[in-house]
Structure 1
Amino acid sequence: MFTKRHIAATAAILVTTALLTAGCSTGSAVESGSKSSDLKGLSGVIGSKDFSEQYILAYMTTDLLNAHGANLTTNTKLVGSANTRQALTNKDFLGYWEYTGTAWITYLGNTEPITDPSAQFTAVAEADLKANDVKWLDPAPLNNTYAFAVRSSEAKKLNVKTLSDVAALPKDQQTFCIESEFSTRDDGWPGLAKAYGIDVPASNVKLLDTGVIYTATQKGSDCNFGEVFQTDGRIKALDLTVMQDDKQFFPVYQGAFTMQNEVFAKYPKIADVMAKLSPLLTTEQMQTLNAKVDVDGEEPADVAKEFLKEKGLI
């Protein structure tokens, strides 16, 4: 289940000093609208994984903390969760945004997700702090989990709202577009098919790259139902309807800022500052922000700054 959007499992694990240094871009300087100097003396690098949502979150965090007296830069150059996580545990990154499902299964070695978002977050935060000295700040409402979507016109035609509805369709209408890694994992396609009783010929399942899945689903050219991520801006832009995971098969991927615990101990007011931002980041809000980058072609740094200004945070 954890494809390149969540773990990039095949990415090289080494994080080189040259990449970390070359990849740093200067975070926004403290502007005249700075809210406070509570974080004066705080310096370091805010990192990200390699997709638009992560870029936006990294720039938001850098700008917001700098507006409260910090002197941080942003690095969006690493590829994959493994490298980004290692940069944090190696103390090359002060912090970055992570997802509860990824940490619970990939980093902490659990095999079964916890379906309740609050319980999942608590379990992750406690375990990661104890095992790795990684501090999780209070999460945002956003859930960047897997889902299946269909073009809205077809959803109405087929009268489907849930994955159970999809499983009840005639087999010739149960056509799917998925990523290659998703196709082989027990917590991906095999597990999903078993959970919902989906039993279709191999020819009904097309393996496509992530970006192609969205357009193929919208056109209905290769499939009716495409594997998507719930915060992706292309869902709304392409007028896709997400099927409800009514059996709660997929883990929760709630986003939260993770950081070095020793830095948090020195600057605990980081939690207060981030608490101004995190509650605003719902799944729907992230869809809108991601669309500005993935659909409209805006720069992530600009989208981040515009949002913070709009909300009066900088």
Structure 2
Amino acid sequence: MTTMFTTRIKRALAGAALAAMAATPALAQDDTITVASKIDTEGTLLGNMIVEVLENGGFTVENKTQLGPTNIVRTALLSDEIDIYPEYTGNGAFFTKTADDPAWKNAEQGYEKIREMDMEAHDLVWLEPAPANNTWAIAVRNDVADENDLSTMEDFARWVNEGGDVRLAASAEFVESPAALPSFQDAYGFQMTEDHLLVLSGGNTAATIRAAADRTSGTNAAMVYGTDGAIAPAGLKVMDDTKGVQMVYEPSAVVRKPVLDANPEIKELIEPVFTSLNREKLQTLNGKIQVEGLPARQVARDYLESEGLLK
């Protein structure tokens, strides 16, 4: 009787242990870190950087870079299907439904806001971001910028207001959305007319950059995202948004807290990578992929080796 009872207890405990293992994320079973990224160029680049430093640090990594758009990758993280991926601080405004909060237009405040809110609501850790803002911006051809002494949006506004020969290639969304060109005009005190604009269908910055580079219909400026890979090869210069008109989109690695707690060295491996990146470096690295056609993983590895970030 006692032996049968003991056997039943052992079986029950074994069953409970198996159930616990089944309910536990894959990391606890096989020590594999699942890394994902979005499908865009920069997301793939940053995702591969994470893969490289983790593998170099001795981790077994499942590579799910280019998993999908923001909603797919974010959902996978919240569902514990992946462990870490690169995200932008500014997207915290939409994750938390607080887009009207001015904190998102300040790099430090926006980061602290999403870091605190995601920790409290989802047990997610945002590691220190890269000091590179991949947000809407205006870029001017280098020769025109040099000729007119243009570096900032204040300079751009002066150029427009003084009757400069400005011709901006942009999407209809950029021209019409209150958060885009109209917000720049309000903040810096200038007004662009139809004569200043070449409005292209869609929101593809590759098209606007190409138009400015090729001087299509006299264009010499373009709507861009701050770290677009085609900016430097096209000979364009980004005008600094010194008043912080646009939301700040700095890339950060977001990791599930249980994974980080079990493997605190992840932070030590990844943060130096992101903090080493600035706008110009990301423009160059994205350009190697977009313009030169090099594989994202090769570009990631070459950069990490050049910066001494691999053992």
TM-score normalised according to structure 2 size: 0.80
Q: Give the counterpart of 1:216 among 200, 211, 219.
A: 211
Aligned partners of 2:127 and 2:156: how far apart in 1? Answer: 37
Matching residue of 1:76:
65
Give, in angstroms, the shift of residue 271 of structure 1.
Answer: 0.9
Which residue in 2 is equivalent to 1:192?
A: 184
| Match 1:55 to one of 35, 44, 55 | 44
Match of 2:284 in 1: 288
SS in 1 for 2:272: coil
- Please state whether the residue corresponding to 1:141 is helix, strand or coil: coil
- Output the CA distance in 1 between the equivalents of 2:187 and 2:205: 23
Aligned pair partner of 1:301 in 293, 297, 301: 297
Q: Does 1:108 align with 2:96?
A: yes
Q: Percentage identity across aligned positions?
A: 28
Residue among 24, 31, 34 paired with 1:42: 31
Post-superposition Cα deviations, 1:123-148, rounded to whole Å, max 9, x if no partner, equal 22111111222211122222222211
SS in 1 for 2:293: coil
Corresponding letter in the other structure for 2:183: G
Which consecutive aligned stretches of 4+ in structure 1 deviate over 6 angstroms post-superposition? none
Q: After superposing the two structures, state which structure 1 stretch, 176-185 or 204-213, moved more.
A: 176-185
Corresponding residue for residue 179 of structure 1: 171
Q: Which moved more, 1:252-261 or 1:161-170?
A: 161-170
Deviation, structure 1 residue 184:
4.0
CA contact (8 A) 2:205 2:225 kept: no
Deviation at 1:203, TM superposition (A): 5.4
Do the aligned partners of residues 61 and 40 (structure 1) sit closer, same or farther apart at CA in structure 2, a change above 3 Å counting? farther
C-alpha separation in 2, matches of 1:183 and 1:89: 35
Instruction: Check if 1:240 corresponds to 2:240.
Output: no
Q: Deviations over 1:49-89 (max 9, x none)?
A: 12211111111111211222221122233332222211211
Question: Which one has the largest radius of gyration?
Answer: 2
2:120 to 115, 130, 134: 130
Cα distance change on mapping 1:193 and 1:207 into 2, 3 Å: farther
1:150–1:218 Cα contact (<8 Å) kept: no
RMSD, matched Cα: 2.3
Kindly indicate whether the alpha-carbon contact (under 8 Å) linking 1:41 and 1:69 is maintained by their aligned counterparts in 2. Answer: no
Q: Distance in 2 between matches of 1:177 and 1:247?
A: 22
Structure with higher helix content: 2
Give the equivalent residue in structure 2 for 1:278.
274
1:100 and 1:120 in contact (8 A); partners too: yes
Using the TM superposition, give the Cα deviation of residue 244 of structure 1 relative to its aligned residue in structure 2, in angstroms. Answer: 2.1
Alignment match, 2:265: 269
Structure 1: which 5+ runs fail to align?
1-38
For the structure 1 residues 309 and 164, does the alpha-carbon distance in structure 2 shift closer, same or farther, using more than 3 Å as the test? closer
Q: 2:131 touches 2:277 (CA, 8 Å); kept in 1?
A: yes
With over 3 angstroms needed to count, the CA separation of the structure-2 counterparts of 1:302 and 1:244, relative to structure 1, is same
Q: Which residue of 1 aligns with 2:252?
A: 256
Contact 2:175–2:181, Cα closer than 8 Å, also in 1: yes
Secondary structure of residue in 1 paired with 2:38: coil
TM-score scaled to structure 1, two decimals?
A: 0.79
Deviation at 1:249, TM superposition (A): 0.6
